[in-house]
Amino acid sequence: MSKTDHKYSTVHYRNYLSLDKLLSAQNLRSEAQGEKPAHDEMLFIIIHQTYELWFKQIIHELESVVELFRKEKVDERTIGNSIIRLERIVSIQKILIDQIAIMETMTPLDFLDFRQHLFPASGFQSFQFRKVENLLGLETPQRMTYNGCPYSSVFSPEKEEVLMQMERDTSMFEAIELWLERTPFLKVGDFNFLEEYKKAVDRMLAKERKAIKESPFLTEDEVDMRINMLEGTDNYFSVVLDKEKYKALQEKGEIRMSYEATVSALFINLYRDEPILHLPYRLLRCIIEIDDSMTAWRYRHAQMVLRMLGNKMGTGGSSGHSYLNATAQKHMIFKDLHNISTLLIPRSELPTLPDHLKKNLSFYYTNVA
């Protein structure tokens, strides 16, 4: 047998996956405390260990994508790979949500058989989950405090410093924002996207007002109500059309993403059918899906805690269900990308792009000059 053959013959499934170490890491506290082993504690441990393994994979994918997009010049050829990795995260998140159903095969009484042994351990102490949040771009001012203390206070000084450094580093939010700000198609030659978009919005809103006022199916009160709602939409459109209004909302903390990045995201969404914009659009959709899935997981987790504990205090000392439920909405990171949908207009109302710009947004070899 050659040295090469011998080298590869020593790789065994068990050793490669470190199964001896992995499968011996389920230590029941109920048994260690000299009590009868709680049957469902094994499930509880394995579920949470599995979560941590998936968090590790999510971190691996996020770090690679952020590294690609934090560069001053993003190699557009890497966007396809980034989308694949982000879509992988979305698939993993679906598993994380589905795992809650497995946890719920454990009844509240089953959980109470070993819950007293968990104090003061808590999911809030998941260092990897906090890394995921920081990589995505959750800011400290946006976070709900943990028992009145910073979220990082439950970790050792070394791990706390890692989290603080991550906050100083470029996050996914910041990297994507910088990338969007460099979109080159918003003003080309005689074409000014915002000016043309404003005209299209005015035409669309005028048509809607006319349709409401002339509808034979609405009462006067219903007409007034719908017109008032339409005016509210008009006001929202005016924000993106007025840089000063936009910045005023930014200063209030109601908007986070820069004006330039928001306009670019709007352009990509409106003209997503243009070949060059296919991948940027998919990338933005992936980011929204990741944010949605994080929110869905938080809500699902909160409901599971309510089912298991009712209004009992959490093992880590939080208010339990009410705390988790509140974080679901407050900890959304990419709200500004979600709000782009409010600014969309029908394809029939889209400003016509000049030929030279359509050529730049197409693949030259398929475009007839």
Assigned token pair, 72: 């001053």
**95 domain residue, yes or no:** yes
Using the predicted structure, report yes or no on whether residue 328 has a pLDDT greater than 90.
no
Mean pLDDT computed over 235-263: 91
Task: Look at residue 320 in the predicted model and tell me its pLDDT.
Answer: 66
Q: What is the DSSP string of 330-347?
A: HT-S-HHHHGGGGG---G
pLDDT digits (tens, 9 = 90+) for 71-123: 878 888 889 999 999 999 999 999 999 999 999 999 999 999 999 888 777 88
**5 domain residue, yes or no:** no
**2 domain residue, yes or no:** no
Q: How confident is the model at residue 314 (pLDDT cuts 50, 70, 90)?
A: low
Whole domain around residue 197: which residue ranges? 18-366
Cβ-contact 354, 189 below 8 angstroms:
yes
Q: How far apart are the C-alpha atoms of 46 and 41, rounded to whole Å?
A: 9
- Residue 67 sits in a domain whose CATH number is 1.20.58.480
Q: How far apart are the C-alpha atoms of 173 and 137, rounded to whole Å?
A: 5
Q: How far apart are the C-alpha atoms of 174 and 134, rounded to whole Å?
A: 11
**121 domain residue, yes or no:** yes
Assigned token pair, 70: 């934090």
Using the predicted structure, report yes or no on whether residue 5 has a pLDDT greater than 80.
no
**161 domain residue, yes or no:** yes
**173 domain residue, yes or no:** yes
Domain count, the chain: 1
Cα dist from 41 to 31, 32, 118, 236, whole Å: 10, 12, 10, 51
Q: How many residues does the chain have?
A: 369
pTM: 0.89
Percent of the chain with pLDDT over 70: 93
Task: Look at residue 173 in the predicted model and tell me its pLDDT.
Answer: 97
**65 domain residue, yes or no:** yes
Using the predicted structure, report yes or no on whether residue 295 has a pLDDT greater than 90.
yes
Task: Look at residue 6 in the predicted model and tell me its pLDDT.
Answer: 58
Task: Look at residue 312 in the predicted model and tell me its pLDDT.
Answer: 63
**108 domain residue, yes or no:** yes
pLDDT digits (tens, 9 = 90+) for 131-151: 999 999 999 888 887 677 888
Specify the amino acid at residue 272: R
